[in-house]
A and B are shown apart, each in its own frame.
Chain A
Amino acid sequence: MQTPALSAVHLSEWQKNYFAITSDTCTPGQKADGYRAQILCIQYAWANSEISQVCATNLFKKYAEKYSAIIDSDNVETGVNNYAEDILPLARCQQNDNDKWQSSLTSSNVFELKSVQEMMQAGKKFQSSLMAPADAFVVVDKEVSACVTPCLPKLSVCSNAIETDLGASLSKCKSQGPDILQSPPSLNCLQNSVPSVTKTTDIFPSSSTSSNILPNTGVCATPLFGNNKAASSSSVTPQSHFGIGQNLPFSNQSSLLAGSGNPGKRKMFYTSSDESCSMNSSLAFYKTPINTEARNFVGNGNGGEESNVTGFKTAKEQLWVDQQKKYHNQPQRTPISCGGTKKSLGAGRSRGPFGKFVPPVPRQDGHENGGPHYKPHGAGPTESSCPVDERLKNIEPKMIDLIMHEIMDHGPPVNWDDIAGVDFAKATIKEIVVWPMLRPDIFTGLRGPPKGILLFGPPGTGKTLIGKCIACQSGATFFSISASSLTSKWVGEGEKMVRALFAVARCQQPAVIFIDEIDSLLSQRGDGEHESSRRIKTEFLVQLDGATTSSEDRILVVGATNRPQEIDEAARRRLVKRLYIPLPEASARKQIVTRLMSKEHCSLREEEIELIVKKSDGFSGADMTQLCREASLGPIRSLQSTDIATITPEQVRPISFLDFDNAFRSVRPSVSSKDLELYENWNQTFGSGR
């Protein structure tokens, strides 16, 4: 037998591989090596007759399955894809006529092989060794002592069909006579083993009466995670759905575009990939219907080593990924670029030898020539996706994702009258933005809309609100960007982002790009500043109105800042319309207060409002809202602390002028008169307003 010293060495080697495989920093290649090392250990243990052949075979089966899950899977993170990326460069220079390979093995001539004959003999030998002929008739039965279970005495005679045929088998054994059973006492143990058997079955018959309620209780059968999983699985962005295969670089952008035409369309996309996961629960064929008391079947019964072979947690997810694997595998077979008939697997000439390596599982969308019941799964959008947008050719898909998700704005709808005052600015914007959108035919040539407008003014006067309003009212794709999202920590990344932004915007015309705190992006280009921010600036200016931009590009950049004087003069030149958003006048303030108070439970008379408006001179819009908020807390503060817990919202007294009065004591205007001067004279020099 194995000596203790040597087995310790083997044990430590096995553990080394085990730790390597289970550590999460392990690449698929290392995992494959680890499994092979373990298989070698098994082989040596068997050769050294430490373990039996059956044990060696079982272990080999178990670890070969784990190993093959890595080798055969083409998922980049977990698979090695049969070492395709190493083999193909080697095999590239030869003529590839693998489509003419004809197998010569037939089920008859395969038996001439020596190894196959050996297998047959081994099979016969094993068959005889399994069981001595003598005890073929020995009955497999339960020992008396072992099966005395407490539940035996209270056994209730069950009355259904199963029990009767078991009874028949009981009588049949007795009729065969005691000699077959090794010892007479086992005869009666057979009786009590049978009841225990029937005991387990009696749970089911009592439930048979409840079979008719099956359809509605069927819900417990559908895996718990059925619905949310589908959502989560479909929440996996469509990009990754198509992004896996390396031989599909261009199509995922195009499908990207198709999916993201406009937010509405993307929804459709989700539903299509969702319906295939719905569950049907036709269970009529089973003799013993579902037992309602049986604990709800936890959908993710991932027992057995099968599911963890491919490392997926839940069967649902496994199902979904498998479909991806099946469908993604085979785009070549019905390649988008050259449709044509169903080519034989992997032998399509058009892609040249390097593209040759095609997993053989073809996708059956479009033409069904086998498996008619086979409905294409989620394949629709890729077919109809618009041809690839060459303008997006050299933009990194990662950035496009970022832009698609983070920057495209879809907040609550805002309309013009939500913005109090600033009528002049609103009018100009309508003229510059909304009307050209409505009548692009009129507003061409000289009348064409400007490329950029600048909103400047003290903070809290509604510049951002205007931006949002432009988005909702203009119906254009609205990109809202903060300067920080453009500057990234990687040098050179910033201007790529800007380029990507404008490229996407160009594909989504008409587009409005709203940039808050534009001063931090386009500040005066001094010599001391960091080189990367300078590059971002130049890129931005070029995109705004440089050599490459064509005149009829309908992209509008709306900049908002409260330090206009810091903006670079080149930027200033490009933001042709510079609108001053002043502090709200009395009427505007009045409008803000009335609108805010209308939603609140308050008792303010007209003249009180006038008084408030008068007292709040110099307040910006934000200050006004802060004031109203402070006032609305007034009634709460006047309550004693005891009944704060018990009081119902209706009992709180309405907001009165007194509250506003106290609020005035704590809320100060955030804009000083000096700042105002600054804006005033900047407006005189550069402003394009009145």
Chain B
Amino acid sequence: MSPADPELLLRELDGWDRALCRRELPCVLPRLLSMYQNSDDWSERIRVLRVLTEMFLPHISLSELEETFFSKVLPKAIQLFDDLLYELSSQAQGLTSQNAELYKAVRDVLQTMVQLLETLTGCVRHICTLKETVPLESIRTLPSSILYVIKNTFMHCKDSESLYSGCLHLISDLLQSLFKEAYSLQKQLMELLDMISMESASAEDSIVDMVSVIDTVLGICSVISNMDHALHANTWKFIIKQSLKHHSLLQSHLKHKDILSGLCKDTLFSFHSCLQLAEQMKLSGTQASTDHKLFQKTVKLCRFFANSLVHYTKEFIPFLSDSCYQLHQLYLQIYSKFPPSMYAPVISEAHRDEIARVFLVALDPLIHQLLPFRPFLELVLSEKLDLSPELHLPQCLLLVTIMNKLRAQPEDVQALWTIRSQFSEEVSRLSLFSALFLSFQQCSGELSLPVCLPGVMGDGQAEVPVTLYHHVCVHLCAFIASTPPSHFPQLERALLDAVLGSSMITSLLAMDSWCFLARYGTADLCAHHVFVIAHLIQSCPGECYQLSVLGVLLRRMLFLMAPDQQVEFTQKFPPRETENLSLWQHVSLKALTPDLRKQVAHQLCVVGLAQCRQWLSSGCTLGELQPVNVALSILLTVCSSAGDALEAGPQVAVLEVVSQLWALLQVKQVSSQPCLQQTLCLLLPLLEFFIQRVDPQLITQVFTVQASLHELTPPDHVRLAALDLLSSMGKVVIPKEIQGQVIPKLACLFASLLADRTWLVYQHALEAFTQFAEATSHEDVVPLCLNCEETKDKVVCFLAKTRQGEETAEARAERVKWEKAACSAHALKKNTDGEWGSTAEPSAKRACHSPSEEQYKSALDTAEGALDAVKLLLQKGPAPAWLAVKLEALQTAITLLRSSVQ
């Protein structure tokens, strides 16, 4: 019955029925196996393999399946597969349409590969049909080998385009079927693996197997990532399902980092393809239905990835400490490419909403889960988190969303986030408040654009978009409103640090939140804060930027104080003592109740006048001028904010002191001594306050000094101070006898200021001049001031409210990005070498250390490299539609750069 010759055996076996096969199994099987082992003819091997799998495999019992069948058959099959593959890759280069036999050989090889895959699929399908549960050990080698085959097939299909270069079309049909076969094989295997159980005791090596299975499937995922969406999604679904199914067993062995990074990469990839599709549709303008359907499919894929990501992190959160970085970057990358970020592509409203509605909503729970996770928060709040510019806004928005979510969290989680890391061994991290202020400061570009975000859903009103500042301020205050008492110290420190920070807009935000805190908290708390700030102001040795910022904060807080505590404030810092003057100069008396205001105004006036008179009578040396400046600013505060609580008597006395002081000012000294310049800048507004009652002789003096001073081009703050007085001159009827002297000086002052090279001074000059021109009764002066043609038409178009230098949206975005870099560099420079209290004159005069040549060279090389790459791409294929627009934006950026270089 068993003829020696294999050929005969095979032909004989064809006729056997099932019962015969089972009976003959023990004897026939070894012979077939040996025949299979040592035959080297591919087709014969395949035939033997098929016979084995179709006729004899069903009869092998599950228990000895592994040793009797798989351990012997599979290695050979893999080896066969490798040979075929090797054959293919070697012949592929030479394949051309001419030599038919090579072409036929390649086709044969492909054919055999397809058959091999079919048999393997049959084999796997058979095991699936077994009724009882299949333990992993019983099919230990099957999954790994099958996966090996699948992976390499897919790899082959993927680079077939480069492999077969020209004549892919000849064998594309076979490749197609090969791909399909691999596809079904993988599906079958996945189905099988779903069914197997791993609870058996000797789980150790099966765990290792399963982990390796998941790992190879992960590899497959990255191979097929852009070949077939459905397969890709199913593979991922398989990975997630398997790791979750055997959660307890596998959790410590799984390579979470790779899985997560794969997921993140794919999520980001599909998100970018969504954006590209949307952008193309927007640019091409046509709403091609195919594009739209593809777009919707990709968005659904994104959602799938987001869901699986969220699901995976929820299950394996304890093990994900080292992949927090990827999750954080993923979140930031996504939001940096999504409107309203400046770096987002231009897409239509509908698409944007669809992406938000479908994808971002699915992504949101990710943050919710990561809140209690310490490594994540240490990463987000770390001090040394330096992000590229486009990630600043997403980081800020992330912190705001974290704040919103934290409010619903238990107190210990809130403590994690808000308490700064005290213990040394912990990773140094900021409190949530300071982190928000820091990241807010970095968004200076987005703030000046301004970037608009959807507003808070008011009850009943339509949702109006709000600026970034408004958005952050509202959510920060809401978070402050819900801070538990235990976190309050952190809040205070963060607020004070932010107020004293280098960026004006951040200190503004801190001030607004502090005022909200003052209004929302108790009166004693507000008073306590005011006393601390006042104490700080008093103990600061000299004038500096932070001191004036604190002054503004004090001024605002005083408005919010309770009257009885305001009285306490005046008792604690009595206006009578001279050392309190430096404090009271910052306070606006409007904040005080009328009676208190009268008292304080009166006392301040007396002390201020005494100080000035004492200096006047004691030899007017420059050394003691500083207290006089303080006294003058006190008088200025009293005059401007006391309203009618200040009777006429003291006002006349103040005017008299002002005129005495003015008489002493000497141009040469003023232009050289910063201290005197400060006095001048205080005298001018005081004069402006009394402008109606200043006697003519003093006005002439003022204008002579001003005119000659401005010839020496004083520093910008002195020029600025002159403007207030000039604009108030509109209200004054200049008496005849001094018109001859004053009018020409007034005109030339205005002319020089209207031609100022610092644009801020020039703008304030414009504003002052328009106020003056509208109010003045001396119409003839107005043309005198506009001596040259250019200033004339500038003033005219300012009056007509038309603006030159209108810039397009793209140019504006480009400029803002470019300026953002300058701003952050400046902030860095301020913090590092702390040259805060730099001397009065602008730092431009000092040679700021210009960046070295190689920095320029390297930047330009990269730019050239990029341009060459684009040139190459253009030769290769048709350029995408949006390329022209991008080039045009680059063009404007280059012109801007060139104009700033000349």
B691 near A: Cβ within 8 Å?
Answer: yes
Tell me if B698 and A200 are in contact (CB < 8 A).
Answer: yes
Residues of chain B with a CB closer than 8 A to A319's CB: 594, 643-645
Q: How far is the CB of A465 from chain B (nearest CB, A)?
A: 50
Q: Can you list 17 residue pairs at the A/B interface with Cβ under 8 Å?
A: A14-B759, A55-B715, A102-B488, A103-B528, A127-B541, A139-B621, A169-B617, A197-B663, A203-B695, A223-B644, A286-B649, A294-B652, A304-B689, A322-B594, A345-B526, A360-B561, A370-B567
Q: Known interface pairs A142-B666, A143-B667. Does A122 touch B652 (Cβ–Cβ under 8 Å)? A: no
B807 near A: Cβ within 8 Å?
Answer: yes
Tell me if B545 and A53 are in contact (CB < 8 A).
Answer: yes
Residues of chain A with a CB closer than 8 A to B251's CB: none
A61 to B452, CA, bound (A): 26
A200 to B626, CA, bound (A): 24
Tell me if B827 and A47 are in contact (CB < 8 A).
Answer: yes
Q: How far is the CB of B573 from chain A (nearest CB, A)?
A: 12
Tell me if B478 and A91 are in contact (CB < 8 A).
Answer: yes
Q: Known interface pairs A5-B900, A98-B522. Does A50 touch B759 (Cβ–Cβ under 8 Å)? A: yes
Chain A window 276-314, contacts with chain B (Cβ cutoff 8 Å), 1 for yes, 0 for no: 100101010111111100110111010111110110000
Tell me if A82 and B512 are in contact (CB < 8 A).
Answer: yes
Give the residues from 713 to 734 in chain B that come closer than 8 angstroms, CB to CB, to chain A.
715-717, 720-721, 724, 728
A10 to B818, CA, bound (A): 13
Tell me if A356 and B520 are in contact (CB < 8 A).
Answer: yes
Tell me if B484 and A49 are in contact (CB < 8 A).
Answer: no
Residues of chain A with a CB closer than 8 A to B806's CB: 12
B575 near A: Cβ within 8 Å?
Answer: no
User: Among B511, B559, B644, B798, which residue has its beta carbon within 8 angstroms of that of A315?
Assistant: B644
Q: Known interface pairs A115-B546, A289-B649. Does A103 touch B525 (Cβ–Cβ under 8 Å)? A: yes
B154 near A: Cβ within 8 Å?
Answer: no
- State the main secondary structure of chain A at its contact with B: helix
Tell me if A220 and B728 are in contact (CB < 8 A).
Answer: no
Residues of chain B with a CB closer than 8 A to A103's CB: 488-489, 492, 525, 528-529, 532
A168 to B525, CA, bound (A): 52
Count of interface residues, chain B, beta-carbon cutoff 8 Å? 187
Give the residues from 54 to 113 in chain A that come closer than 8 angstroms, CB to CB, to chain B.
54-61, 64-65, 67-68, 71-72, 82-91, 93-107, 110-111, 113
Chain B window 644-676, contacts with chain A (Cβ cutoff 8 Å), 1 for yes, 0 for no: 110111111100100110011111110001111
Tell me if B524 and A113 are in contact (CB < 8 A).
Answer: no
A18 near B: Cβ within 8 Å?
Answer: yes
Residues of chain B with a CB closer than 8 A to A196's CB: 663
B636 near A: Cβ within 8 Å?
Answer: yes
Q: Known interface pairs A37-B448, A51-B758, A303-B688. Does A43 touch B523 (Cβ–Cβ under 8 Å)? A: no
User: Among A143, A166, A298, which residue has its beta carbon within 8 angstroms of that of B668?
Assistant: A143
Tell me if B648 and A297 are in contact (CB < 8 A).
Answer: yes
Q: How far is the CB of B614 from chain A (nearest CB, A)?
A: 10
Q: Known interface pairs A8-B805, A105-B492, A169-B618. Does A60 touch B549 (Cβ–Cβ under 8 Å)? A: yes
Chain A window 130-150, contacts with chain B (Cβ cutoff 8 Å), 1 for yes, 0 for no: 110001111111110011010
B404 nearest in chain A by CB position: A90
Q: Known interface pairs A87-B516, A369-B564. Does A299 touch B644 (Cβ–Cβ under 8 Å)? A: yes
Tell me if B540 and A42 are in contact (CB < 8 A).
Answer: no
B398 near A: Cβ within 8 Å?
Answer: no
Residues of chain A with a CB closer than 8 A to B19's CB: none
Residues of chain A with a CB closer than 8 A to B623's CB: 131, 136-137
Which are the 8 A-B pairs with shortest beta-carbon distances? A304-B640, A370-B564, A315-B643, A127-B542, A306-B640, A125-B837, A303-B689, A136-B623
Tell me if A283 and B618 are in contact (CB < 8 A).
Answer: no
Residues of chain A with a CB closer than 8 A to B617's CB: 165-166, 168-169
Tell me if B459 and A89 are in contact (CB < 8 A).
Answer: yes
User: Among B485, B526, B547, which residue has its beta carbon within 8 angstroms of that of A119?
Assistant: B547
User: Among A7, A60, A106, A297, which residue has its beta carbon within 8 angstroms of that of B651?
Assistant: A297
- State the main secondary structure of chain B at its contact with A: helix
User: Among A19, A138, A291, A326, which residue has its beta carbon within 8 angstroms of that of B593?
Assistant: A326
Chain B window 448-469, contacts with chain A (Cβ cutoff 8 Å), 1 for yes, 0 for no: 1010000110110000001101
B27 near A: Cβ within 8 Å?
Answer: no
Tell me if A306 and B588 are in contact (CB < 8 A).
Answer: yes
A114 to B716, CA, bound (A): 31
Give the residues from 361 to 380 in chain A that come closer than 8 angstroms, CB to CB, to chain B.
361-362, 364, 369-371, 373-374
Tell me if B801 and A347 are in contact (CB < 8 A).
Answer: no
Q: How far is the CB of B705 from chain A (nearest CB, A)?
A: 7
B842 near A: Cβ within 8 Å?
Answer: yes
Greatest chain A CB density within 10 A among B447, B467, B503, B542 is at B542
Residues of chain B with a CB closer than 8 A to A4's CB: 899
B407 nearest in chain A by CB position: A94
Tell me if A55 and B522 are in contact (CB < 8 A).
Answer: no
Chain A window 1-40, contacts with chain B (Cβ cutoff 8 Å), 1 for yes, 0 for no: 1111111111110111011000000000100110011011
Residues of chain A with a CB closer than 8 A to B836's CB: 118-119, 121-122, 125
Residues of chain A with a CB closer than 8 A to B51's CB: none
Residues of chain A with a CB closer than 8 A to B528's CB: 103, 105
A323 near B: Cβ within 8 Å?
Answer: yes
Residues of chain B with a CB closer than 8 A to A60's CB: 504, 548-549, 552
Q: Known interface pairs A89-B456, A129-B674, A303-B690. Does A47 touch B540 (Cβ–Cβ under 8 Å)? A: no
Tell me if B474 and A90 are in contact (CB < 8 A).
Answer: yes
Count of interface residues, chain A, beta-carbon cutoff 8 Å? 174
Chain B window 559-598, contacts with chain A (Cβ cutoff 8 Å), 1 for yes, 0 for no: 1111110011000000000000000000010100111100
A126 near B: Cβ within 8 Å?
Answer: yes
A438 near B: Cβ within 8 Å?
Answer: no
A346 near B: Cβ within 8 Å?
Answer: yes
Tell me if A130 and B626 are in contact (CB < 8 A).
Answer: yes
User: Among A3, A98, A101, A140, which residue has its beta carbon within 8 angstroms of that of B621?
Assistant: A140
Tell me if A288 and B900 are in contact (CB < 8 A).
Answer: no
Q: Known interface pairs A283-B649, A345-B526, A346-B521. Does A123 touch B674 (Cβ–Cβ under 8 Å)? A: no
User: Among B588, B620, B716, which residue has its beta carbon within 8 angstroms of that of A52?
Assistant: B716
Q: Known interface pairs A33-B469, A39-B504, A371-B593. Does A138 touch B560 (Cβ–Cβ under 8 Å)? A: no
B700 near A: Cβ within 8 Å?
Answer: yes
Q: How far is the CB of B857 from chain A (nearest CB, A)?
A: 22
Instruction: Kindly specify which of B204-212, B337-345, B493-501 makes contact with the partner chain.
Output: B493-501
A114 nearest in chain B by CB position: B497
A357 near B: Cβ within 8 Å?
Answer: yes
User: Among B520, B551, B639, which residue has its beta carbon within 8 angstroms of that of A303?
Assistant: B639
5 extra A-B contacts, CB within 8 A, seeds A126-B837, A141-B620: A14-B763, A82-B477, A90-B475, A103-B529, A201-B660
Greatest chain B CB density within 10 A among A32, A140, A146, A346 is at A140
Q: How far is the CB of A86 from chain B (nearest CB, A)?
A: 5
Tell me if A147 and B663 are in contact (CB < 8 A).
Answer: yes
Q: Known interface pairs A61-B552, A173-B619, A289-B649. Does A135 touch B715 (Cβ–Cβ under 8 Å)? A: no
Q: How far is the CB of B124 from chain A (nearest CB, A)?
A: 55
A405 near B: Cβ within 8 Å?
Answer: no
User: Among A99, A102, A220, A360, which residue has its beta carbon within 8 angstroms of that of B560?
Assistant: A360
Q: Known interface pairs A71-B512, A131-B674, A315-B643. Does A44 touch B715 (Cβ–Cβ under 8 Å)? A: no
A664 near B: Cβ within 8 Å?
Answer: no
Residues of chain A with a CB closer than 8 A to B408's CB: 93
A112 nearest in chain B by CB position: B493
A149 to B550, CA, bound (A): 43
A307 to B636, CA, bound (A): 12
Tell me if B843 and A49 are in contact (CB < 8 A).
Answer: yes
Q: How far is the CB of B520 from chain A (nearest CB, A)?
A: 6
Residues of chain B with a CB closer than 8 A to A130's CB: 542-543, 626, 674-675, 678, 840
B316 near A: Cβ within 8 Å?
Answer: no
Q: How far is the CB of A642 from chain B (nearest CB, A)?
A: 45
Tell me if B522 and A99 are in contact (CB < 8 A).
Answer: yes
B549 nearest in chain A by CB position: A60
Tell me if B482 and A91 are in contact (CB < 8 A).
Answer: yes
Residues of chain A with a CB closer than 8 A to B562's CB: 345, 360-362
Tell me if A135 and B546 are in contact (CB < 8 A).
Answer: no
B849 near A: Cβ within 8 Å?
Answer: no
